[in-house]
Amino acid sequence: MFLLACGAAQRPVPTAGAISGLARDHDTGEVIAKAQIRIRAQGEMSPRLVVTDRNGQFAIDKLPPGQYSLSALYAGQPIEVSNIIVKRGEPTIVDVMFTLGRPDPIAIDFGNPKDGEIDHFRPKQLAPELSIIEGTVNDAGTRERVSGAVISAVGGPHDRTVQTVSDDQGRYRFEPVDPGTYVVSAYYSISGHGSIEVRRSDIHVAGAEAVFVPLWVELTKQ
């Protein structure tokens, strides 16, 4: 997301957009390197191909605005993501989640997401007395990721508060935290438009477990 300060000199907005994201395994949360990612514009015959790097990340830039589809392939499992809208001068974040060991095809309509799903997974080699809370901050209206939001997690056996800030892809992560029940919230301030806060309660995370908590804010109504 890009914010322009009032009165500041405005740079020309790039005419192209981009699609980037992260490939992971659903059961462990581990990133997946060398997954094949193909991006195809609507009506286009030849896709653009990249592979995820050792951190599971991929990016394809210089994409004209329009509607795209993404195909991902790893260990024989295909994932198809349709109805991806690329906007001028903005990156569109599309993460892919493989289910290694259960290589059934997965089809996702990016324009009609399952809003607000909380997911649990078991990272390898995470000690029984430790847990992880992570997730993304998203605009409910546009699905754009929100960077610079202040994320708080309050709870656990000692009722502690931990804070972080969402990164340039709208991601946040608390590692490690004590197992327990938490309230996770996001606070975001927009110059000239006040502030927004959203929270999710009763987030339980067990020992040796991670929980993924998406947070949705309604920036378009401000």
| Topology annotation, domain 119-221 | Immunoglobulin-like (2.60.40)
State the pLDDT at residue 17: 94
**Does the pLDDT at position 192 exceed 60?**
no
**Above 70 in pLDDT, residue 128?**
yes
**Are residues 109 and 85 in contact, defined by beta-carbon separation less than 8 angstroms?**
no
Is 17-109's fold the same as 119-221's?
yes
Express each pLDDT in 29-72 by its tens digit.
999 999 999 999 988 888 999 999 999 999 999 999 999 999 99
Phi, psi of 184 (to 5 degrees): -115, 130
Give the whole-angstrom CA distance, residue 153 versus residue 60.
33
pLDDT-derived band at 195 (thresholds 50, 70, 90) equals: confident
Using DSSP's 3-state secondary structure scheme, residue 217 falls into: strand
As given in the structure block, the two tokens for residue 70 are 């993404």
Q: What's the chain's length in residues?
A: 222
Q: Using alpha carbons only, give the angle 187, 188, 191 rounded to the nearest 5 degrees.
A: 145
Confidence of residue 196 (pLDDT cuts 50, 70, 90): confident
pLDDT digit string, tens, across residues 3-17: 333 333 444 445 689
* Beta-strand relationship, 91-93 and 180-190: unpaired
Domain ranges of the chain: 17-109, 119-221
pLDDT of residue 194: 66
108-128 CB burial, b ≥16 within 10 A, e <16: bebeeeeeeeeeebebeebee
Residue 160, pLDDT score = 95
Averaged pLDDT for residues 143-155: 94
CATH class of the 17-109 domain in this structure: mainly beta
